[in-house]
A and B are shown apart, each in its own frame.
Chain A
Amino acid sequence: MSPMELLPGTLDLLILRAVSTGALHGLGVSRRIHQLTDATFDVKPGSLFQALYRLEEQGWLTSEWGQSENNRRAKFYALTANGRRQFERETRDWQTRSMAIARALNPSS
């Protein structure tokens, strides 16, 4: 199946999810999302970086230069305390919304 378009706003949620288990660099985030969504979505680098920088400015992410697995210097992004709260908030909202829509679309209702 060819990769689908991401709904606006969902990229932020996916990024927060990706770094929720540990700090990742840009490529790492991209790969993690690819893995978590089972290759359903393919994130363009441009959109990814836009989102990363935006989330950092909003205070949900923090960044730090570090060493990658093959000793390359890379910028690692991690969740802040505020970011974690935001992530939990957005996850709850998303679940509420998707359940409501799923119920509405259920042929038996």
Chain B
Amino acid sequence: MWFSRLRAFCRRLLAPHRTERDLHDDVQAYADLLADDLATRGLPRAEANRRARATLGGIESVKEQVRGVRAGFPFEQAWRDVHYAWRGLVRAPAFSVTAILVMGLGLGVTTTIFSVADSALFKPLPYDRPHELVQIGHRLRVGTAMEVTAIGMDWTEAADWRAAQDLIHGVEAFTFGPEQRWLERDTSLRVAALTPGLPHLVGLRPVAGRMFTAEEVADGMPVVLISEGLWTTAFGRATDAIGQTMTLDGAPRSIVGVLPSAFRFGPGGGGNIQVWTGLDERSSLAQRASFLFRLRPGVTPDAARDRVARIGASIQAARPAVEPWIAALIPLDQSRREMGARLQTPMLLLLGTAGLVLLIACVNTANLLLTRGASRRPELAMRAALGASRAQLVRLLLAEGVTVAVLGGVAAVLLSLWTAGALAGLVPSRLRSGLFVVSSPVVDWRVLAFAVAATVAVVLLAAVWPALSGARVSLRAPADLVDRSVHGGRRRGTRWLQASQVALAFVLAATAALLAGSFGRMVSADLGFDPRELGSIGLALPGGPNSTRESTTLVLDEVVARVRATPGVRSAALGASPASAGSGGLVLPGAREAVAPLAIRTVGRGYLETAGIRLIAGRDFGPEDTSSAPHVALIDAVGARQVFGDDSPIGQRFTYSPYVPELTIVGVVERVAASDFASRSNRVGIFLAASQTTPPPYILVRAERDLASSLGDVRRVLAANEPGIQVQSAAAATDYYEEMETFAAPRFYLILVSVFAGLALATTSLGLYGLLAHAIGGRRREIGIRLSLGATPAGIRRLVLAEALTPVVSGLVVGGLAAWWTSDLAASLLYDTAPRDPWAFGGGALAIGVATVVAVFGPMRHAARVDPISALRVT
């Protein structure tokens, strides 16, 4: 039976006019036949017709009754409501464009941020059975306070693991290489290398062309794969890209295939690779390879723990390592989850602020709808008088709200499509590689589903109450029938909404001001060293099986001496950029737990002087600190106070590894900013003597005049005199901050939150303007009366200002309280800034003030210009 109803509905849908005409003729025929009947009984024709019509009760009425029971009536009615709402919106373009724009921006911002968060945190990995993919790590110093897991092994060990067939299904390797220059397009590309079986291992395959074969890699054939992204942007997805030649760093390479965009490796490695070359044991990049394993189906990391430990032990039995380790399986998922946990706070902050923007948009739209409903009072009262029920009036108003929300949702999706890609480009790349393990933010069905859900929520928030309120027309109140209110009373609702908008906008503005202050302090912070003309040179030493720590030290000392002798170099010392520091934990004698995290810098003699780091107490490293002498260390002043309190740290002992003898502190230096100084990690900085531990292959150089030319000179000197040493990098010491994106992430959040705050302020200002314009419109007669009774234009302007200030002031108060309570949430993102910084609150209030001034300017002028005579005229 329902099937035939559906069929009837479809038939009606396809031929609506015919159906209506049919119905009309049918009912008309009834009336005519009845009239005929009465006429044959003797009644005059006209009377018969009238009587027939009266019996029928009105053709339209009967037709309406029939329509009410037809199949699919609710849809039909909803469609009619929407159609009517659409026509109403088209007739009021100012209202509809504003409402849709506001809604679209609010939903768009939220959807875009959701797509970012989704790609970063929620989406599952796009691989085959991702829970089987693991990396194998070496747990070092197990059971001590300094336990750490290192992921990295050599090819021999990887082969050993491969041999455990009951555990491992397969292993492949990948590594990230330096950027290479693409000659034909004059641009740099991010390059990585992989073993040919890697895509198959994770369950992906090339979207075009083919993988290179193991033979091609072994023979060193110049074949490469490009990413889908590069294929799209550089080749327009043309099939003839396969087989083309790209010249990378001077070497021609042939493109054999395209890897899908889902193929990307993130965890700490830097996704977004554009070109993949072949990798095997003999490749130049083989030393830094990372290995990915797939477990046998059915094997879980937990169940395999014992087996894994035993295999690890047997590997070490055959080839003992420097530090003993215990093998551990690290699921690919886990690194991502850890990364996600670190990014949780900033992501939540972004989602929260985006949510605030959406809330403001909802409030604004609700306000607009309320105002519109109020202005339609006469029309609605008329409908009620003609028999419309309250439910019908609500439906009518709701249709408009729903239409605005849906159109806003469509605009939002379009906005997201446009900005999601652009936003991903703005995200600093280290953040991006950690975030977008799975994929760049795209507008996929998940994001669309979110947009739909958000739109529904918006409808509930923004459209329902205005619809219910607007339908509350009373037929008895004369004001409802004719819009002639002297003092527009029923506007309390809109004022509340306006105040809440101001409150929300204030919270956003204050947050932006807070982040701005924090960022300002960050970039102007005292780094603890003198960065002028200071550069860092990274070296590749010959290495080999005969190199010992002593021989390496001798070589490096010689290199440092040669650098010092280079003209143009004021000073040089062994050590990396002061911005770079290793990690560890400070363990006091006899303790098992670390008391503080460490920032460890291994430096040679003269480093403090070269870097311009101030020695506050004690002494610097000297010639007496040989490898056989007691091991010494320097500590920074802040850390010393943190660990030792008021006691002098000089002479105190500590350690950072169970494999290193205890160190004695001999000097106190000022704190040097490591690359994570902006976060709240608060690591204690210690300096170790290069002569007493593994010397770092870095040289710090201060130039007399120009760093760039001095670095060039040093390169030439070393190339000429030290052929075994290769210069791998030479850059300004502060470049490391850029490389580690110390400032980039805070800058990104600042920009985003500022944009949101700007949107919020603009929306609030617009809402305030609309409120005032409407208020003045409703109070024109009152203004006319006041003017004719002697009020001055200035007085009228004050009146308008007072009207505006009520919601603004109450909004500021509520917003201030809200910001007070919630400011702690942003604390972890702030540098040297209290979460309740009064300057930030002041800045937020100032922003609201500016928005208010902009909003009231027009209405104030307009109100003062009201012509009393025309205002008083009774229309």
Residues of A that sit less than 8 Å from B by CB? 25-27, 44-47, 49-50, 53-54, 56-59, 68, 70, 72-75
Residue of B nearest to A54 (CB): B69
Decide: B5 and A75 in contact? CB cutoff 8 A.
Answer: no
Can you name 18 A-B pairs with beta carbons within 8 Å? A25-B29, A27-B34, A44-B57, A45-B56, A46-B61, A47-B65, A49-B26, A50-B66, A50-B69, A53-B66, A53-B70, A54-B69, A54-B70, A58-B5, A72-B29, A73-B25, A74-B33, A75-B25
Which of A46, A59, A73, A74 contacts B62, CB < 8 Å?
Answer: A46
Contacts of A44 in B (CB 8 A): 57
In this complex, which of B4, B22, B56, B61 has the most chain A Cβ atoms within 10 angstroms of its Cβ?
B4
Contacts of B25 in A (CB 8 A): 73, 75
Contacts of A26 in B (CB 8 A): 26-27, 29-30, 33
Decide: B36 and A75 in contact? CB cutoff 8 A.
Answer: no
Decide: A59 and B1 in contact? CB cutoff 8 A.
Answer: yes
Decide: B27 and A49 in contact? CB cutoff 8 A.
Answer: yes
Distance of A58 from chain B, by nearest CB (Å): 5
Decide: B62 and A49 in contact? CB cutoff 8 A.
Answer: yes
Decide: B29 and A75 in contact? CB cutoff 8 A.
Answer: yes
Decide: A68 and B57 in contact? CB cutoff 8 A.
Answer: no
Question: Tally of A-B residue pairs with Cβ under 8 A?
Answer: 70
Chain B interface mostly: helix
B68 at the interface (CB under 8 A from A): yes
B740 at the interface (CB under 8 A from A): no
B525 at the interface (CB under 8 A from A): no
Decide: B61 and A56 in contact? CB cutoff 8 A.
Answer: no
**Cα(A37)–Cα(B92), bound, Å:** 57
Contacts of A70 in B (CB 8 A): 33, 36
Distance of A87 from chain B, by nearest CB (Å): 14
Chain A interface mostly: helix
B530 at the interface (CB under 8 A from A): no
Decide: A49 and B66 in contact? CB cutoff 8 A.
Answer: yes
Residue of B nearest to A73 (CB): B29
Residue of B nearest to A58 (CB): B1
**Cα(A49)–Cα(B56), bound, Å:** 11
Decide: B4 and A59 in contact? CB cutoff 8 A.
Answer: yes
In this complex, which of B8, B25, B30, B62 has the most chain A Cβ atoms within 10 angstroms of its Cβ?
B30
**Cα(A46)–Cα(B23), bound, Å:** 12
Within 8 A of A (CB), among B41-68: 55-57, 61-62, 65-66, 68
Within 8 A of A (CB), among B188-216: none
Contacts of A56 in B (CB 8 A): 8
Contacts of B23 in A (CB 8 A): 53
Decide: B22 and A75 in contact? CB cutoff 8 A.
Answer: yes
**Cα(A74)–Cα(B29), bound, Å:** 6
**Cα(A26)–Cα(B52), bound, Å:** 14
B866 at the interface (CB under 8 A from A): no
Distance of A52 from chain B, by nearest CB (Å): 8
Contacts of B55 in A (CB 8 A): 45
Within 8 A of A (CB), among B1-29: 1, 4-5, 8, 22-23, 25-27, 29
Decide: A57 and B62 in contact? CB cutoff 8 A.
Answer: no
Contacts of A46 in B (CB 8 A): 57, 61-62, 65
In this complex, which of B56, B65, B70 has the most chain A Cβ atoms within 10 angstroms of its Cβ?
B65
Distance of A33 from chain B, by nearest CB (Å): 14
Asked whether A75 and B26 contact (CB < 8 A) given A53-B66, A54-B69, A59-B1, the answer is: yes
Contacts of B22 in A (CB 8 A): 75
Asked whether A72 and B71 contact (CB < 8 A) given A49-B65, A49-B66, the answer is: no
Contacts of A58 in B (CB 8 A): 1, 4-5
Decide: A57 and B70 in contact? CB cutoff 8 A.
Answer: yes
**Cα(A50)–Cα(B57), bound, Å:** 14
Residue of A nearest to B67 (CB): A53
Decide: B69 and A53 in contact? CB cutoff 8 A.
Answer: yes
- Supply 14 further A-B pairs (C-beta < 8 A) apart from A26-B26, A54-B70: A26-B30, A27-B30, A27-B34, A27-B37, A49-B65, A56-B8, A57-B71, A58-B5, A59-B1, A68-B29, A70-B33, A74-B29, A74-B33, A75-B22
Distance of A19 from chain B, by nearest CB (Å): 15
Contacts of B670 in A (CB 8 A): none
Distance of A104 from chain B, by nearest CB (Å): 31
**Cα(A103)–Cα(B77), bound, Å:** 47
**Cα(A74)–Cα(B70), bound, Å:** 20
Decide: B57 and A45 in contact? CB cutoff 8 A.
Answer: yes
Residue of A nearest to B36 (CB): A70
B832 at the interface (CB under 8 A from A): no
